[in-house]
Amino acid sequence: MGKLLKLKKELQSIADKEQSKNLQSFFKTGKGEYGEGDIFLGIKVPVQRKIAKKYIDLSLKDLQNLLDSKIHEYRFTALIIIIQKNRGLDISSKEIFDFYIKNFKNVNNWDLVDISAPHIVGRYLFDKSNRKILYKFAKSKNLWEKRISIVSTFAFIRENQFEDTLKIAEILLNDEHDLIHKAVGWALREVGKKDRKTEEIFLKKYYKQMPRTMLRYAIEKFPEDLRIFYLKGKSDSQKLKDKNMN
């Protein structure tokens, strides 16, 4: 039995119908929702990570097969294997980066983006001066490209590089999707954990126009009095805006 088929059979053998139903709802797979058409076997993440370790020598062709599947766990496991390959560098990081970018349409739920973008896109671009692809993605109409653009910068934040995070956050400031609000707020929070002053410079400029969810995520780790300051300022600004519209 080939390793690809063996992996699929192993995942299928531990499918959980009840967990599958819960995940289908949690990841919004209904008609018109962001995860429409995604199929879950119902396997927990730690289990998938453990299984992935046994198949790190799968070829990119086999991984392409997994990424093309509508089964979420196939795509998730493929991404875990790709990350492991990237760390081991048995394939060049450029080849892995190009493979990932070619497959961004298959990285099509928020957990898939979040586990992979910093470790593949962010890691590859970390020592590159040309990061234009992140700005291209940030300005895309595709939800997952936009999320990849901001989440990839976590690799930079870890090394105290904040410029791209803040520029992309500015581009996405008025995005309409809640998943972008959360991702941008999360990224700003991580900047603040490294350098509160830098985050606050950004917040003082933009917090009144930020979506409330984005702001709440961004100030989550702030002291209580500072969080109240920003939230009250946001509320007062919104009241004034509503009054002027009426």
Find the mean pLDDT for residues 218-245. Answer: 76
- Same CATH topology for 1-125 and 136-246? yes
Domain spans of the chain, in order of start = 1-125, 136-246
pLDDT given for residue 132 in this prediction? 97
The C-alpha atoms of residue 81 and residue 79 are separated, in whole angstroms, by: 5
Does the structure show a pLDDT above 70 at 239? no
| CATH 3.90.1150.10 is held by the domain 136-246 | no
pLDDT in tens, 90-104: 556 889 999 999 999
What confidence category does residue 235 fall into, taking pLDDT thresholds of 50, 70 and 90? Answer: confident
**What's the start-to-end Cα distance of the chain, in Å?**
69
The C-alpha atoms of residue 149 and residue 172 are separated, in whole angstroms, by: 10
pLDDT given for residue 190 in this prediction? 98
pLDDT in tens, 165-188: 999 999 999 999 999 999 999 999
3-state secondary structure of 80: helix
**Residue type at 76 in one-letter notation:** F
Does the structure show a pLDDT above 50 at 240? no
Say if residues 124 and 94 touch (Cβ distance below 8 Å). yes
The C-alpha atoms of residue 164 and residue 154 are separated, in whole angstroms, by: 10
Find the mean pLDDT for residues 202-208. Answer: 95
0.85 surpassed by pTM: yes
Q: Which CATH class is domain 1-125?
A: mainly alpha
Token pair, residue 222, equals: 């702030």
Say if residues 97 and 120 touch (Cβ distance below 8 Å). yes
Distance of alpha carbon 125 from the chain centroid: 16
